[in-house]
Amino acid sequence: MVHRVGCVAIRETAVLMVVTAAHRAAAFGACQYVVDRLKSVVPIWKKEFYLGGAAWVEGDGQIEQAAGA
């Protein structure tokens, strides 16, 4: 797995994961586990920009409104 840091534009890849398995369901399950684990262990912060301002989004899904943009 590779996780990008820094400014990532809309539609750019932030996380890349490669999994091999004998069956598709096992591969999808592995991907889901790894992404869920990433979100629970790594302190992910992102700032989302909107027409009316911006907000910081924490890894646990909480949103904090940012003053200004």
pTM of the model: 0.58
Domain boundaries, the chain: 2-65
Q: Which amino acid is at 45?
A: W
Adjacent-strand bridge partners of 58: 45
pLDDT tens-digit series, residues 21-66: 999 999 999 999 998 888 888 777 778 888 989 888 875 544 445 4
Quote the CA–CA distance of 16 and 59 in Å, as a whole number. 18
- Three-state SS for 49? strand
59 and 45 in contact (C-beta within 8 Å)? yes
How far is Cα 14 from Cα 5, in angstroms, rounded to an integer? Answer: 8
Band the pLDDT of 69: cuts 50, 70, 90: very low
